[in-house]
Amino acid sequence: MSATASSVPAGCTACGAATVRSFVQITDVPIHCNLLWPDHDSARRAPRGQITLSFCSTCGHVFNSAFDPSLMEYTQAYENSLHFSPRFQAYAEALAARLVDRYQIRGMDVIDVGCGKGDFLAMVCEHGNNRGYGFDPSFVPENMSAEKAARMTIVQDFYSAKYAGTKADLITCRHVLEHIQFPREFVRNVRQTVGDRMNTLVFFEVPNVMYTLKDLGIWDLIYEHCSYFSVPSLREVFRSCGFTVKELHELYEGQFLGIDTVAAHAPAASPDVATAEDVRRIDGFVTKFAEEYASKVALWRSRLGEWKARRASVAVWGGGSKGVTFLNVLNPGDTVSCMVDINPRKQGMFVAGTGQRVVAPEHLRTVTPDVVIIMNPVYRDEIAGQLKALGLTPEIMVA
Ligand SMILES: [Zn+2]
């Protein structure tokens, strides 16, 4: 398949404005960061794409204007399981409890769009004794326990207008919208399926672009994410698609945004002055990000060069997308011998693009690394504890 003319955005993919400028370019990144490969050679030959990050100074949205959706293909091998971290589990439990308590979702019907393995839907069902309907084309039926299956029905398909008959009191959609090139089309479809059920609470969660911009989270840039939402751009998408925003929060220490909405009879008035101030603030961070992107890459290249020169043993901890981007931007070769991940389904596989083997933490006893580079500062204590338990005391650095 080749890119169709309609896949090239004419303006901002969140608000349509032409006030767009590109600010970071990354060439030849693996298209599927989370898709691991069975051997080193095939991992090295993984398909690649281009990232041209663009910023809209009208709504504060960031997006990859070089994104080609025809390259994407979600399969059952797609593995996106933050869920293996105890900390993330606890966060998801608290979120499920908040939605159930805040909106009195008890004994009701809940839809989760892009439900993955149904973990979050199961939490919402359990907290409120609800009935769950999940939609995900990558769902593997045999993975579900009998206990979960009793409460939940999962459809191995994209959620679309043909499922409008499945009514819901709560619709959740977590970490889906950032994968969609034209988010307004997706949200408009959800609005259509909600129809006149004005009490249906619609909750979306996406990564927060401000977290990436503020912390120079350059390893958060991945091909799969074509949309990077800010508070004003997320609000604008839902407003323009006929939703009333009830709450819009930064979540998970600012890493995510969560939006609670209900259907509106007509789209609300256009953005207010507060939004314009937000956008100007984001604009400043975008400029700074662009300036410091190159220097952060240069700093890591020089560190990796020093470690290579003294034959230090280096491991990357975190087989998620950040780890894959880190390796692919820096391309450290043999200097980084392996990537640790606690998800047993990833272990034994190979990193797209650069080809490191993914190993269990216990494998580090063999490697005895001098340096462990961790991808997310949030997990620092958790990882330090695991290393200590293994009898290892490497220098721990945050990427
Ligand atoms: Zn915009």
Ligand 1 centroid–CA 198 distance in Å is 27
Q: 332 — phi, psi (to 5°)?
A: -80, 0
Ligand 1 centroid–CA 191 distance in Å is 20
Ligand 1 centroid–CA 296 distance in Å is 28
82-278 CATH pick, 1.10.645.10, 3.40.50.150, 3.40.1030.10, 3.40.50.12780: 3.40.50.150
Question: Domain map of the chain by residue range?
Answer: 5-67, 82-278, 307-398
Ligand 1 centroid–CA 240 distance in Å is 11
For residues 223-239, give the mean pLDDT.
95
Residue 169 to residue 159: CA distance in whole angstroms = 16
For residues 303-307, give the mean pLDDT.
97
* CA angle, residues 212, 324, 315, in degrees to nearest 5: 105
Strand order in the sheet with 201-207: 152-155, 131-135, 109-113, 170-174, 201-207, 256-263, 243-251
210 near 279, Cβ under 8 Å?
no
Q: Tens of pLDDT along 306-352?
A: 999 999 999 999 878 889 999 999 999 999 999 999 989 899 999 99
Ligand 1 centroid–CA 126 distance in Å is 38
Q: Tens of pLDDT along 7-46?
A: 567 799 999 999 999 999 888 899 987 788 999 999 999 9
Residue 64 to residue 62: CA distance in whole angstroms = 7
Ligand 1 centroid–CA 210 distance in Å is 15
Residue 66, pLDDT above cutoff 70: yes
Ligand 1 centroid–CA 323 distance in Å is 29
Residue 167, pLDDT above cutoff 60: yes
Please, which residues have CB less than 5 A from ligand 1, an ion?
12, 14-15, 17, 56, 58-59, 61
| Topology of the domain comprising 307-398 | Rossmann fold (3.40.50)
Ligand 1 centroid–CA 59 distance in Å is 4
Ligand 1 centroid–CA 355 distance in Å is 37
Ligand 1 centroid–CA 288 distance in Å is 19
Least confident of 16-20, 71-75, 208-212: 71-75
For residues 368-393, give the mean pLDDT.
94
Ligand 1 centroid–CA 62 distance in Å is 8
